[in-house]
Amino acid sequence: MYFKILMGYILGYVTIEIEGYFTERFINLCNTKKIFLWNLKKINNGIIKANISISDFKKLKDIAKKTKCRIRICKKEGIPFFFNRYKKRKIFLLLFLLVLIGIGVLSNFIWNIEITGTNRINKEEIENLLAENDFKVGTSKIGLSTKEIIDKIRLERDDIAWVGIEIEGTSATVKIVEADLKPEIIPEDEYCNIIATKDGTIVKISAQNGTPVVKEGDSVTKGSVLVAGWLEGKYTGIRYVHANGEVKAKVKYSEKVKVPLNQVKKVETGETENKYSVKINNFQINLSKRVSKFENYDTIEENKKLRLFSNFYLPIEINKTTYKEYKNENINYSLEEAKQMAEKEATKKLDEQIQDKESILNKQVEEEIAEEYVEVEVIYEVLESIGTKEKIVF
Amino acid sequence: MRKQRKKVAQNKINNLLEIPQEVSSNIPKVTITGFEQILIENYKTILEYQDFYIRLSTEIGILNINGFGLDLKEMTSDDLLITGKIDSIDFESIEDE
């Protein structure tokens, strides 16, 4: 029965008013003729409201005549009537079709390119590289061969191990796996020196092959030769060799941090102002004035690409600009506070540079106090091996 | 007498096979759900339909439904679903001769 009502809605139904003295007879006749009526309602004496499907409605004529009832249509509902309503609105229909076609056509272009997997390589470089190979926002998906683009990129860049382009709807994901840089290995049969990579004081030097040039305790500068790639024999004279050995040195890392005692700090007042603009392809429409009403403010921009469904990006962007008001507040730090802050910051910076924490030999803190600021220098002494091989060029 | 005997025999068979009564004969089945819905199966015709009163004829008699704001929600040739506030239902059975 519910199925019948549902079908009635899809195929269309009308609400009618039956007026007459023999409404019961009318209903019974409908029943015997298998005409389906539903939602019968007695309104007045002699008037019944009922729903009936369109196809059945045509059969009512005979019954109405027989029972001397009058039938009046109150309401037309259902999909056929809905479409009928728009028959006269040709321009509306045309535009609706145009929109549909537009969506269909636009779905054949790529509107969003996402590059993932890049750590060392700049994303813009990849974007430019893709653009050179005709793969950018706005390219058609038809006739696009991702394999060709991938091959071209891989030929051009050595530092990319693998590239994958995945197109889903109108968004493309470019996955990149970076290749590790090739280490420079000097073959055993070539002559080389060992040179210093960093400034430092030599702690230990052991040459397995070659002649050590510096002693323990010597301070060396970056680039100076530590173990020379030759041997001097009594009878053989000078003979060039492939220098080999380990050089350990104390390397000083230092970091200076200046902290003024009087600082101006931003304090947010909590007041924000949102402004929106719409960007279509490259054309920006501001929906409100760009100038903020605040005197001091931070600007935060948020972009949102419009999309239909989960993966169908449209070339429309909504930019939201949030202005956050802040106040400038003067803060006076005491000498101790400033010192601590500076030292903390310097230590943090140094910790980022040094990976091997266990090899830290010494930590030194130097302070310089002036009237307006405190300058703290933190010096770490780290035991490191500083030798690398360098080819001897004759 | 003959007719009655035949009926009795039929009833016996039906009882034996456990066929529900409303299936084996045209006896109406009245299902009342709550106070506001009543489903009548195997009815014959509607004799009278008013806002407050519905009179149906069935195989074994006449069924009167009194209430308030009674609507014939769904109607087919053998089922009838009535909604509205139901006050009372009464039967007028037709005597067999």
**Residues of A with Cβ-Cβ distance to B73 under 8 angstroms:** 38-40
What phi and psi, each to the nearest 5 degrees, are found at residue A70?
-105, 140
Q: What is the mean pLDDT of residues A332-337?
A: 80
- Give this complex's ipTM: 0.78
A270-280 pLDDT per residue, tens: 788 888 888 87
Q: Tell me which chain B residues have a C-beta less than 8 angstroms from the C-beta of A39.
A: 71-74
Of A79, A30, A67, the residue nearest A52 (C-alpha): A30
Report, as ranges of residue numbers, the positions in chain B whose pLDDT lies below 70. 1, 96-97
Instruction: Tell me which range, A199-203, A252-256, B31-35, is most confidently predicted by mean pLDDT.
Output: B31-35
The dihedrals phi and psi of B9, each to the nearest 5 degrees, come to -65, -40
Q: Letter for the amino acid at B78? A: D
> What one-character DSSP code corresponds to residue A358?
G
Residue where the block lists tokens 């039906």: B14
The reported pLDDT for the residue numbered A139 is 82
Query: What does the pLDDT read at residue B90?
Result: 93
DSSP element (H, E) containing A378: strand A373-385
The CATH number of A112-178 is 3.10.20.310
Q: Residue A24: list chain B partners with CB under 8 A.
A: 45-49
- Residue A183's pLDDT is what? 63
More confident residue, A47 or A260: A47
Whether the per-residue pLDDT at A100 is higher than 90: the answer is yes
CA of B42 vs chain A CAs: smallest distance (Å): 13
Q: What CATH class does B25-93 carry?
A: mainly beta
Q: Please tell me the predicted confidence (pLDDT) of residue A101.
A: 94
A374 has a pLDDT exceeding 70 = yes
Q: How far apart, in whole angstroms, are the C-alpha atoms of residue A228 and residue A306?
A: 65
Report pLDDT for B89: 93
pLDDT score, position A375: 83
Q: Which residue type is seen at A41?
A: K
CA A318/CA A285 separation, integer angstroms: 10
Query: In chain A, what percentage of residues exceed pLDDT 70?
Result: 98
Q: Say if A31 is an interface residue toward chain B (CB within 8 Å).
A: yes
How far is CA B70 from each of CA A39, A50, B11, B35, rounded to the nearest angstrom? Answer: 10, 13, 35, 12
Distance CA A32, CA A65 (A): 16
Residues on chain A touching B48 (C-beta within 8 angstroms):
24
Average pLDDT for residues A144-154, to the nearest whole number?
83
pLDDT averaged over every residue in chain A: 82
Chain A residues close to B70, C-beta within 8 Å: 42
- Alpha-carbon span A26 to A173, nearest angstrom: 67
Q: Kindly indicate the confidence band of residue A59, based on its pLDDT and cuts at 50, 70 and 90.
A: confident
pLDDT at A99: 94
For B8, residues 6+ apart whose C-beta sits below 8 A from its C-beta are none
Residue A32, chain B, CB below 8 Å: the answer is: yes
Distance in angstroms (rounded) separating the CA atoms of residues A269 and A44: 68
Query: Can you say how many angstroms the Cα of residue A176 is from the centroid of all Cα atoms in its chain?
Result: 15
Cβ of A24 and B79 within 8 Å?
Answer: no
Q: Which residues of B touch A (CB under 8 A)?
A: 45-51, 70-77, 79, 81
A3–chain B Cβ distance below 8 A for any pair = no
Q: Does A27 touch chain B (CB under 8 A)?
A: yes
Residue A86 confidence (pLDDT): 75
CA distance B41 to chain A (A): 13
Residue A33 near chain B (CB below 8 Å):
no
Residue extents of the structural domains in chain A: 2-83, 112-178, 192-247, 256-261+333-384, 268-328
**Pairs of CB atoms within 8 A across A/B:** 49
B49 touches B67 (CB < 8 A): no
User: Among residues A98, A20, A106, A121, which one has the least CA distance to residue A66?
Assistant: A20
pTM above 0.80, yes or no: no
Nearest residue in B to A38, CA atom: B74
Residues of chain B with Cβ-Cβ distance to A6 below 8 Å are none
| A13 compared with A349, residue with greater pLDDT | A13
In CATH, A2-83 is 3.20.20.60: no
Each domain of chain B, given as residue ranges in start order, spans 25-93
